[in-house]
Amino acid sequence: MTEQTVTEPTAAEQTTAETGRLAMIRRLYLYLIAFISLIAGLSAAYGLIEALIRLWIPDGAVPGLSATGSVQRAIAQPGGFLIVSAPIFLVHWRYIRRLVLQPGESRAALRKLFIYAALATTAYVSARALYHIIEGSFQLLLGAAPSEEELRPGGWVAQFFHAGIHLILSLYFARLLQEDGDLGVELGWAGSWRRLFQLLVGLVALGLLLTGAADILNFVWRALLEPLGASSLATVGTGWWQRGISGSLAAVLVGGLAWRLNNLYWNALMTAQPPEGRMALRRLYLYVATVLAAAITLVPVAMLLRLGVLFLFGGVDTGDIDIDDLTTPLGLLPVGALAWRWHWLQVSAEAQRYGDSRESEFVRRLYYYAVAATGLLMLWIGLVDLVRALLDLAIIGSTSVEEGFRAHQFASGVSLIAVGAPVWSLHWRTAQRAAEQDNEAGRAERASWPRRIYLYGIAFVGALLILFELAQVVYRLLLWALGDPNADFFGAETLDGLVRAVVAAAFWAVHILAIRDDTRMVDKEAEAAARESEQKERRREDLAARIEELETELSALRAELAELEEEEQGADEEQEKNEEE
């Protein structure tokens, strides 16, 4: 029996570990208190500015504000928070600024988390204030009648104050990131916080941009269809567009500016640091944006198809169609299609230019199987509705069917199949082609967690549906065979259960066959070699990252040592000069 030797950590290693833990606790305290006091101070300043401006520019918009007690409360409450929170923040921030001079402090993950959280807060407030300024300006230019609140001059002044103050703070925190010296080359969680910040900013800005652009097209379609459909389409009256289009234009300008700046900045980082293009959070951002744009495209297609089928089958009259049923999908469709194409081309271009990492491959598989599952769900529901309507027409006939009910069934089924079938088929076939390869890429695809969760999840759900639906059918059959007068075996509920079970069985069989094929193609020796190779590659990446981190810390220590030696040399020279004198 071989005796294993346990190596005790040296005193230096123990000291380093303890120092690291103490530094993390210290950072957690400092940055948490600094962030809480900063948010409390900004909120108090927001309320204090509002109260002072309303007092400075009286408008009578708020009843009772002119009363002495109301003025005192409006100023005292935020003023008290500001007087307390400002010194707390400044004291902790001054100490933080001194600690940044220590080696490795400027690259700490908790510092990055604090800066990006503060940057997100200040940028959000400034963007919101800018949105209201632009919206109000367009309303005045277009001749909209503003509300009583929007007529207050103090409100305009307050928005400019908030936009200016928070924009200055945003620029200050952005400059701190530049001064830290590792922007774009952060290690570990420090880089993850930056990418997560960019992901959220990009998605929120993209959503604002697409929503605003779709609303503008919605107003254009309203202007075109309202006169033509005055006798059959629901109108919205006169003067409806000024206020709505002002908000849409403001959303396009603010969202477009934020999205463009974020995109340019991320592209510049990828150009300077190509590994950035392979990061998982970057690919996750692109795939989520692609899914968002695809949803904005496909949902309107389904809505328009449903309306068309309803009209063809006589399930709806033109006079029953609200104008929103037409203008909303017509506004969303072109915007979503353009965004979908742009982001998909961007995903393909970056995958070709920068390659894939292990994490980005996981994100890609997660995207394909998640979208395939969504498309499969839509296809299953659509097939159930369509087959149910056809069997209902063939077996039960038109008796006892409410007017328009079958048309709605057909419309729902056709629209869901038209959207779900291509979505599921394209993504499923792409994943299958990768899994059917007899090479390293195929083995990795078959062994991936997203694929296993998808296949076994669909098989599990399909088996449950078959079990419960057929159990209900057999239950009614037994009741009918035993002579129960209320069995209603040949009724609509039995037909529905059979349709749902048959459709579920078809998809269950497809995925069971895929599981069987994956099992047949398993090569245990190749799988073991692949796992060993993956472990070695992961260990190599961890070692490379650790070496880079140590080299960075070593460079900082050498710089600090050089500064100390220069100070000592200067002190010695000054002492020698004094002795000579």
Instruction: Give the pLDDT confidence score for residue 441 in this predicted structure.
Output: 79
Q: Domains along the chain?
A: 356-526 (1.20.58)
Q: How many CB atoms lie within 10 A of CB 262?
A: 21
Instruction: Give the pLDDT confidence score for residue 278 in this predicted structure.
Output: 84
Residue 552 to residue 555: CA distance in whole angstroms = 5
Instruction: Give the pLDDT confidence score for residue 9 in this predicted structure.
Output: 46
Instruction: Give the pLDDT confidence score for residue 48 in this predicted structure.
Output: 80
Q: The tokens of 165 are what? A: 């103050």
Instruction: Give the pLDDT confidence score for residue 309 in this predicted structure.
Output: 80
Q: The tokens of 221 are what? A: 């379609």
Classify residue 144 by its DSSP letter.
Answer: -
Question: CB–CB of 225/326 below 8 Å?
Answer: yes
- Region at 400 (left for phi over 0; alpha for psi -120 to 50; beta for the rest): left
Instruction: Give the pLDDT confidence score for residue 206 in this predicted structure.
Output: 94
Q: What is the pLDDT of residues 396-421, one digit of tens each?
A: 655 444 555 667 778 888 888 988 99
Instruction: Give the pLDDT confidence score for residue 44 in this predicted structure.
Output: 85
Q: The tokens of 478 are what? A: 């037994």
Q: What is the pLDDT of residues 354-386, one digit of tens each?
A: 888 788 888 889 999 999 999 999 999 989 888
In the block, tokens 């729902």 appear at 412
Vertex 517, ends 516 and 519: CA angle to 5°?
A: 65
Residue 64 to residue 54: CA distance in whole angstroms = 12
DSSP 3-state of 61? coil
Question: CB–CB of 105/553 below 8 Å?
Answer: no
Q: The tokens of 281 are what? A: 């959070």
**Treating both helix axes as pointing N-terminal to C-terminal, what angle do 440-447 and 449-481 enclose, rounded to 10 degrees?**
50
Instruction: Give the pLDDT confidence score for residue 460 in this predicted structure.
Output: 94
Task: For residue 435, give the amino acid letter.
Answer: A
Q: Report which secondary-structure segment, H or E, holds 23.
A: helix 11-56
Instruction: Give the pLDDT confidence score for residue 22 in this predicted structure.
Output: 77
Task: For residue 192, give the amino acid letter.
Answer: S
pLDDT below 70 — which residues of the chain? 1-20, 56-71, 144-155, 226-241, 314-322, 395-406, 484-485, 487-492, 522-535, 537-538, 541, 545, 548-549, 552-553, 556, 560, 570-574, 576-581
